[in-house]
Structure 1
Amino acid sequence: MSISLLSNTYNRQNWEDSEFPILCQTCLGDNPYIRMMKERYGQECKICNRPFTIFRWCPGARMRFKKTEICQTCSKVKNVCQTCLLDLEYGLPVQVRDEALQITDSVPKSHVNKEYFTQNVEGEMALDQQPQPYGQLAKAQPPSDVLMKLARSAPYYKRNQPHICSFYVKGECKRGEECPYRHEKPSDPDDPLSTQNIRDRFYGINDPVAEKLLSRYKEAPQLEAPEDKTVTTLYIGNVIDIDEQQLRDHFYQYGEIRSVTVVPKQSCAFVQFTQRDAAERAAKETFNKLVIDGKRLSVKWGKPPSAQASSGRAGEAGGYESNYELVPGLPSVVPMPSSESKTDFFGLSSSSNMAASTASNTFLPPPPMPPPDLGDYTSSLSYGHMPPPLSLRTSSIHYPSQDPSRVGSTASHGKANE
């Protein structure tokens, strides 16, 4: 173990001895049954050069071993992870967090001042029963727009991947799939992300990762207002357990509100302003940074439910010809029958109407049949038979079933007469 001359001036009682490290969820890994190797005073802190207890562990399968880089005192001063030196609450570099919260760095950089500063910080933290942010970070304002857009909501375990195999880069790696390192091409050496300094990341100066995130924030898309100047309604999404009064109290600062409609089934709401300028101001100030009752809500331009319902009813009343086009090549629609032919199922209409209806049909009518012999029917009346049907009393027969000679009525009547 190599300890610098500066650390030898410390009393051994001031060396840090801890039981568990201060880590973020990404560095800790997704394995709940992780095992760590602990070594008391195994390394110097890369910020204050004071010996501290280091921890080494593997965050997961096919991941590289990680260890703590700074002591817990420096970690509590900046509220960062002991391994990656990213903020524990937002998962962002210190430079991004300090710029968003408008915090100036107060940690000294000279050796003598660092010793004095570290001793005072440890004394103040020992008096506090509960761990709290230190210095200006404890007095910082609520999260800003930059932090809400850039903050990481889930762990990024890809950051724990192994390093690139140097033998693979040279074309000399013979391990194949058994190699514990990555077989990928290295990044461009001119890329600033390839050269990172742990001290610059801790103090929040000249951090290439922070500069990349800030440039991404500046290039983020903005909410564009619709061209229709009559639209003064904002759509609020993710409205869960938020009532109308809370929305009204928040949006009233941007202008006069005409109506606030909450739709619990869809978990959304519609806020309509009386003037277009107020709606544009509210959309600009709340886009991607609206938080009510600890819930982050989405803001978009929209229409009130009444307008949507009216447009839907108009579409139903006017038909769907304006929304749908006919497919080419399909057969034409079969014309509907006339009002007279709808009810004339048994040919009871006059011959003129029947001829007009049959003329419009594509099928040919059956051939005309000879007129029936009414003498048989008159003789049948004397014997008490039923009168002939109404269709047979007409001058013409249209169907073969109406001819009595076809069903053997003549023979039966002849036998009766005999």
Structure 2
Amino acid sequence: MPPKLDINKAGWEQSDFPILCETCLGDNPYIRMTKQEFGKACGTCARPYTVFRWNPGAQSGSRQKSTVVCQTCAKVKNICQTCLLDLEYGLPVQVRDTALGLERSAPTSDINREYYAQNHDGKDQGTEGARKAAGAGKEMLKQLARTDPYYKRNRPHICSFFVKGNCTRGDECPYRHEMPTEGPLAKQSIQDRYHGKSDPVARKILAQHADSQGLKPPDDASITSLFLTSLPASATDTSIRTVAVNSLPFLEPDAIRSVVHVAKTRCAFVNFTTRTSAERAAEAWANGLDVDGERVGVRWGKAKKAAAPKAAAAA
């Protein structure tokens, strides 16, 4: 007689080995893993999945790590199940999607998330991370990619008792005796990291890269335009706007207020509705913008000069 099927577990996920990056897997070639089927709910789609736990390092002081999202969600984004960083570049999802001009496809609410997960079960091809960037986006990712494992990320958590001043374990305490740092980087959400939105680590990486490419936001907050240079002769107002919108899927459709193309000098101004939208675009175009197969230079616009006051009429 065939085994009885539990319909409550029909959509749950079982797996034999996790999807991990080299850093989370650790430097110990003889690691031991524990496997717990349907151990907890996925941090993204909330489906029960197989949870793996292990110690990532042979050196003392490494903390126990575990998977936090199911394999289906990890395959959709091409990320590690534990740190949620891209498997190819070792970067946050928001950085990768900004460079590639990718639009978030995973569900962000409870509606139809089970249907979405089932449709992506068993799909190894067509993930977001598998899409190759061309030109400026590819160059940007190569510059930002972390090529070597960063085992410092496997350190123990900070001891909460030490922070309160009443830890009595001393050197025997398995947690770090350090004071936590304040700021936006200390507050990260699994949902935001996975979907690539409002990730403070990603914003810091993108802002630093933009600064290194000469695209530091000007002090004048009224400047909300970017200046494009060396445009191809075939460029038009429409083609420039189309390329700009397609490369910025994380912005609202009306984020670009206008495009002023000067064909004679092969340059254009892309005017944004808000300063925040302009800064996000500058981060995405830090290595230039591809227009009709050619690399276009990007700079911040300049403030408009105040009109000279009219001379007083002669008495």
**TM-score, length-scaled by structure 2:** 0.62
Match of 1:121 in 2: 120
Aligned-partner Cα distance in 2 for 1:145–1:25: 23
Once the 2 structures are TM-superposed, how far is the Cα of residue 175 of structure 1 from its aligned partner? 1.5
Would you say 1:160 and 2:154 are equivalent positions? yes
Separation in structure 2 between the aligned mates of residue 10 and residue 208 of structure 1, nearest angstrom: 40
Out of 170, 182, 200, the residue aligned to residue 176 of structure 2 is: 182
1:231 corresponds in structure 2 to none
| Secondary structure class of the residue paired with 1:54 | strand
Contact 1:103 1:140 in 2 (8 A): no
The structure whose RCO (Cα within 8 Å, separation 6+) is larger is 2
Matches within 5 A, 1:8-407: 11-60=8-57, 61-122=60-121, 125=123, 131-134=124-127, 136-142=128-134, 144-188=138-182, 191-220=183-212
8 Å CA contact 2:78, 2:130 repeated in 1? no
Unaligned 5+ runs, structure 2: 1-5, 215-286, 289-315
1:55 is paired with a residue whose SS is strand
Aligned to 2:312: none
Following superposition, the deviation at residue 176 of structure 1 comes to 1.6
Asked whether the equivalents of residues 87 and 94 of structure 1 are also in contact (C-alpha less than 8 Å), the reply is yes
1:235 match: none
How far apart, CA to CA, are the structure 1 residues paired with 2:92 and 2:211?
Answer: 19
The answer to whether the 8 A contact 1:162-1:182 is kept is yes
- CA displacement at 1:11 relative to structure 2: 4.0
SS across alignment from 1:112:
coil
Identity %: 57
The residue number in structure 1 matching 2:292 is none
Instruction: Kindly state the Cα deviation for residue 221 of structure 1 after the two structures are TM-superposed.
Output: 6.0
Deviations 1:350-377 (Å, cap 9, x if unpaired)?
xxxxxxxxxxxxxxxxxxxxxxxxxxxx
Change (3 A) 1:187 1:10: farther
Name 1:263's counterpart in structure 2. Answer: none
Unaligned runs of 5+ residues in structure 1 are: 1-8, 126-130, 223-287, 290-418
Q: Secondary structure at the match of 1:144?
A: helix
SS at match of 1:56: strand
Q: 1:14 deviation in Å?
A: 2.6
Residue 43 of structure 1, CA deviation:
0.5
RMSD, aligned α-carbons: 2.0
The change in CA–CA distance for 1:63 and 1:139 in structure 2 (over 3 A counts) is closer
What's the CA shift string for 1:330-362, capped at 9, x where partnerless? xxxxxxxxxxxxxxxxxxxxxxxxxxxxxxxxx
* Separation in 2, partners of 1:139, 1:171: 50
Amino acid in the other structure paired with 2:163:
V
| Paired letter, 1:199 | Q
Regions of 4+ moved over 3 Å: 136-140
CA deviation after TM superposition for structure 1 residue 164, in Å:
0.9
Would you say how many aligned residue pairs link Structure 1 and Structure 2? 207
Q: Deviations over 1:4-43 (max 9, x none)?
A: xxxxx96423311111100001111000000011111110
Query: Amino acid of the residue matched to residue 184 of structure 2?
Result: P
Give the residue type in structure 1 aligned to 2:186: S
Q: How many Å separate the matches in 1 of 2:162 and 2:39?
A: 32
In the TM superposition, residue 140 of structure 1 has moved relative to its aligned partner by 3.7
Aligned counterparts of 1:138 and 1:167: Cα–Cα separation in 2: 44
Q: For 1:187 and 1:205, how far apart are their aligned partners in 2?
A: 22
CA offsets per residue over residues 275-328 of structure 1, 9 Å max, x none? Answer: xxxxxxxxxxxxx99xxxxxxxxxxxxxxxxxxxxxxxxxxxxxxxxxxxxxxx
Query: Normalization by structure 1: what TM-score?
Result: 0.47
Residue type of the alignment partner of 1:80? I
Output the CA distance in 2 between the equivalents of 1:140 and 1:155: 22
Pairwise CA distance, 1:108: 2.1
- Between the aligned partners of 2:28 and 2:108, the Cα distance in structure 1 is 37
Instruction: Write the letter of the residue equivalent to 2:21.
Output: C
Give 1:172 deviation, angstroms.
1.7
Once the two structures are TM-superposed, the CA of residue 211 in structure 1 deviates from its matched residue by 0.3
Between Structure 1 and Structure 2, whose CA radius of gyration is higher?
A: 1
